[in-house]
Structure 1
Amino acid sequence: MFMYGNIRSYSLLILILLITAVIAGSIFDAFFYLLLCGLLGLVVLGAFFFLRSRNRFQEVEEDHLDNMLGMPTRFSYEELKNITKNFSNKLGEGGFGSVSQGTLPSGSQVAVKHLFGIGPVNKSFVAEVQTIGSIHHFNLVSLVGFCAEKFNRLLVYEYMANGSLDRWIFNKNQDLSLDWQVRKKIILDIAKGLTYLHEDCNRKIIHLDIKPQNILLDENFNAKVSDFGLSKLIEKDQSQVVTSMRGTPGYMAPEWLSLVITEKVDVYSFGIIVLEVLCGRRNIDGSQQEEDRHLLKLFGRKQEEGQLLDLVDKCSDDMQLNAVEVVEMMKVAAWCLQTDYARRPSMSAVVKVFEGSVDVVIDMDEDFLNEITPEVGECFATTVLPSMLSGPR
C-alpha cells in the first residue's frame, strides 16, 4: 500500500502527463499523437513500478532491523501514539524533529523523539539505534526502544525531568541558576560518559556532536550524554578516521578542516562546554559586543590581562563565591582546547584530575594560549565543505 504522499505525487504526475497529451493532440496529427500517448503510457507505467519497488525496498529495510543484533524494543507507531496521547505533551521541537513525553504501560516515563524528513531507514537512524541500544552507562541516556514503520522514525528514551543543559546554563534567571557544586558534578558526569564511549566499549565510539543541547539532566541533575545520530564507531586499535564533516559549529575542533579526526574532537567539544558552564554564556554569542562575541578569544584576552575572574558567571552568587576554584577548572578546559589534538588529554585523564587522583599543573603562558584560540567559530560558519552539520534538537 502506498503512503498518502506517494499517491498524491503519482496522481499529480498522471494529471500533468494527460494535460501534456491533450495539448500535444491539438498540435500534432493523429500518428504523432498516438506515439506520444504510447510514450507517456510507458512513463506512467515506469513511475508506477518505481514507486512500488521503492516501497518494497523500504519494507525489506524495516524487516532487516528486526534481525539486527543488539537492537532495543521495537514499538509500532500506534503504540507510541497511545503512549504519548497523540504526541500532545511536547517537551521540545527543532529542525530534526519533536520530542514528546509519554508513559509506558508499566508506568515508566519516556521521551519519544519523532524524527522529521528522514524517509527510508538511513545510516544516521540505524547508527543511533544500534549505538545507544548496545551500551549501558549511568552517564549515557538509555534508549528504551524505537519505531521504524512506513516513513515514521521514532526513538524512545528514558525521561529526563530537567531537560537539556542549555536551558540551565544560559538562563539569566537567578532563581534557576545552578550552583557551583551542581555544575562541577555535571562536568564530571559528562567526562565519565565520554570516557566510557572512548575507552570502555568493545569498539571506540566518537560522539561527534557534544554540545549542551545533547547533555540531559535527570531529576537529581545527574548529567547524561544523548543523541548519537552523528556518532562514529572505530576499532580500538585505530588511531584516527577519515570522515565527512559533522557536528555543530562552535563546538567543532580545528582538525575537522582536514576531515581526519580522532576521539580528541569530543575532548575539544567538552572543553567548550566546560567554559560555557563556568561562564554562563555561549561560545559564539551574537548578542555580545564584537570583541566579546567569541568566548575563546575573550578567554585568551582575559588570561593575558590576569582577569579570568571576570568570566565567572555573574548570574550566580554561588559561582562568584567560589570564583577562585572556578578559574582553576577553566585551566582544565584550556587543556582540552589546544589546537594540536595530540596535546589534549584523554577523557579518562580529565576524570582523574577532577576526582583528585592526579595532579596536573597547567601553565597558561602566552604560547599555550595561542594554541587554544584559533578563529574556528568564523571558519566553520563560513567554510562550505561536505558535511552533516547538526541542527537544533
Structure 2
Amino acid sequence: MRRTLRHLADGREIIYFDEGDDTPPRTAEDTRDLPAVAASSEIRLDPLTGEWVAMAAHRQTRTYKPPADLCPLCPSKPGKPSEIPEADYDVVVFENRFPSFEEGATGERSTLDGLGLVRTAPGKGRCEVVCFTSDHNGSFAGLSPSRVRTVVDAWADRTAALSRIDGLEQVFPFENRGEEIGVTLHHPHGQIYGYPFVTPKTRRMLDVARAYQAEHGRAVLGDVLAAERKVGTRVIAEGQYWTAFVPPAARWPVHVQVVPHRQVPDIPALTDAERDDFAEVYLDVLRRCDGLYDRPLPYIAGWHQAPVRIDRELGWLHLELFSILRAPDKLKYLAGSESGEAVWINDATPEQIAERLRAVG
C-alpha cells in the first residue's frame, strides 16, 4: 500500500491510501478558493449524568443531499472540483470541513455562567472522512476483500495518528449508511472521531470488564465469544480469526458483533492475517444484511477500541453493526422507554435475528 499526504486549499490534510505501488504519484492540487475552516466546538458536562455533550452549532450549514453530479466525495472532474482533487482514487481520508470536534479548538476550561455547576471546555478533537471507493453508486458490501483490507489499514493508520494527538482520549471509526440513519451524502464513506474524553458507552463497558476480571480472572468478551462459538445458535459467520454473532441481549432488529479471537486493544494491533480474515468475514455479514429484506440495509457500524491512555488492558477490540429497519418498510423508533430511560425493547429475539441472517446464505 502507498500512503500519500497532501493538503486541500484551506490547509486540511488529505491522505491517499493506494493498493498498488504502480499507482501514479498523487500530485493534483486543490484549485478551489476556500475560506478557512470556521469551526467552534464546545463540550459541557451534564451535572446529572456525568456525561460530556458536544455543542457544534456551525454544523447546521454542512452539505446536505447534493445531486450526484455535485457530490463532494467523488473524484474531481473538469469544472467540478470536489474534496478529492484527483481524477480517481482507491481509499481517501481527509479532515472534515464541518467537524464536531476541532483540533485547533482554543479556550479555557471553565464553568457555565461562572456558577461552578456545569463544567465547560473547548471541543478539542479531530473528525475525518473516509471514502471507501471512488464509485459513487458502490457500497462497502460491494468492495473486494483487498479493498476492505486497504480500508482496515487506513483505519489503523488513522487510529495510530489520532492517538498521538495531545488531549484526544478515544478514537472511533464508524460508518453511517442510508437515509433512514440520517446520511446526507450517499457516496460510500465513513468517519473517524477523535474524542477529547472517553465516551459513556466505553466507560460502561470498561467498568463491567473490570468487575468481571476481578471476579473471574478473565475478560468478559472472551468468555462471551467462547460461549457463542460453543453454542452456535447466534453465530452467523466465522473465519480463522474472527466470529460474527448476534449479541445474546441484542437491542436492535438487526444487531451483529464481529469479534477477533485474540484480545487486542485496537485496530493497529491486528496482524496482517487478522486483517485479511476480517475482510472476508465482514463482507459475508454485510451481504447477509443486504439480503435480509432484499434491499440495501441502513445501518451504523462502529469499532469499539480501547481508550488511548487508560484501561487499555481491559479493552477487547470489536466491531458492532446495527440497523433500525425491523421490516422492509418499517423502522424501529427509539420512543419512550429507549430514548427516555435507555431501556431497549426488541421486537425479535437474538436467536430469530441470527436465524434470519443465516438463512439469507
With the length of structure 1 as denominator, give the TM-score of the two structures: 0.28
Name the one with the larger helix percent. 1
With the length of structure 2 as denominator, give the TM-score of the two structures: 0.30
